[in-house]
Chain A
Amino acid sequence: MRQALGRGAGEGGREGPFARPVAHDGAAEAAGTAAVSERTLVARLKGGDEAAFEEIVKRYELKVFNLTRGLLRHDDDAQDAIQETFLSVFRNIGRFKENSSLSTWIYRIAVNSALMKIRKRRHDQKNVTIEEYMPEFDDTGHRVAVVPDWHPAVDQLLLNKELGGLLRTWIAELAPEYRTVFLLRDQEELDNEQVAEILGLSIAAVKSRLHRARLYLRERAKRYVYGGGA
């Protein structure tokens, strides 16, 4: 099995309770040899070197697969999106100005490819209405409903694993604008700035969509654990 990229040591990471390694090529460029290798690969690719293309496919295919699989929900569509993404990389590498990292640029192409597929088959998409999962407050800004504490129950290994699978399903039911932000931030572990650059959004918009997606998932998990329906 080809393992996930961008989760190893030495790639930097964000701080906080969810501190995880982040593939941030800008930071790596200053310090590491991996980024030098990336620049070399880009230069070779711009020179038409097919071996460099093969190397780039191998290096980024899992990132692209995970993102497009999460966005498109189906393996076949994700595989098509991978091919389209890398062929687009090859076609457009001459226009890649290297102001951002190659991975950011590839993510951008991959998202674009996946969203085009989603638009084409919109008729068979069924997305949740996220507002149904947002909390309600009274006039004083306090919660209307009592909040049950379900997190000790989730410590049970079986429920934890079960929820893991369900969370993937629930993420897939998010509207694309939320799904994209959530997958890039909390699955692919990019930071707000990278996601904003990839999606052409403001950082405030990224944070707002991420926030609502997280609230939605927490609420779905709560309803599942308490039998209120997933």
Chain B
Amino acid sequence: MNCRHLLDALSDYLDDQAAASVRADLEAHLAECRSCTVIVETSRRTLRIVTDVGSFEIPDELSQRLLKKTMAGLASARTGSGDPGTGNPESGGTESGS
């Protein structure tokens, strides 16, 4: 395994989804390659910060306003106009998903 191979397998390794043989090769490479060890550690750290930042919060006042507006829109929703669709987001289709 070289640095390029390690990078190809990095996401699976970080998610603990790499196959056992790939993981073994990868860890053997890490034992010899300081640069790749840094890549793994800093990637871990970056994603951990994303997790630590957490999600946005909705103030209760905004939450209630949104609910009120959405409920108020129910009547017009029954007429079926302006539907953003439930299909494949990549294609912008409108086929109903399940």
CA distance A91 to B71 in the complex (A): 13
- Known pairs A2-B58, A96-B98; A61 contacts B41 (CB<8 A): no
CA distance A147 to B7 in the complex (A): 13
Q: Is B49 an interface residue (CB 8 A)?
A: yes
> What is the size, in residues, of chain A's interface with B at 8 Å between Cβ atoms?
84
Contact status A149-B42, CB under 8 Å: yes
- Known pairs A54-B67, A54-B71; A65 contacts B83 (CB<8 A): no
Q: Is A125 an interface residue (CB 8 A)?
A: no
Contact status A218-B46, CB under 8 Å: yes
Q: In whole Å, how far is B42's beta carbon from the nearest beta carbon of chain A?
A: 5
Residue from the list A3, A61, A112, A201 in contact with B85, Cβ < 8 A = A112
CA distance A148 to B60 in the complex (A): 44
CA distance A54 to B74 in the complex (A): 11
Interface of A is mostly: helix
Contact status B85-A66, CB under 8 Å: no
A-B CB pair tally, cutoff 8 Å: 215
Q: In whole Å, how far is A194's beta carbon from the nearest beta carbon of chain B?
A: 12
CA distance A54 to B97 in the complex (A): 22
- Known pairs A112-B84, A112-B92, A199-B88; A18 contacts B15 (CB<8 A): yes
- Please report A residues at the B interface, Cβ cutoff 8 Å: 1-4, 14-20, 50, 53-54, 57-58, 61-62, 65-66, 69, 79, 82-88, 90-92, 95-100, 105, 108-109, 111-113, 115-116, 119, 135, 137, 140-143, 146-151, 154, 160, 163-165, 167-168, 171, 177, 180, 186-187, 198-201, 207, 210-211, 214-215, 217-218, 221-222
- Please report B residues at the A interface, Cβ cutoff 8 Å: 2-5, 7, 10-12, 14-17, 34-36, 38-39, 41-60, 62-63, 66-67, 69-71, 73-74, 76-78, 80, 82-92, 96-98
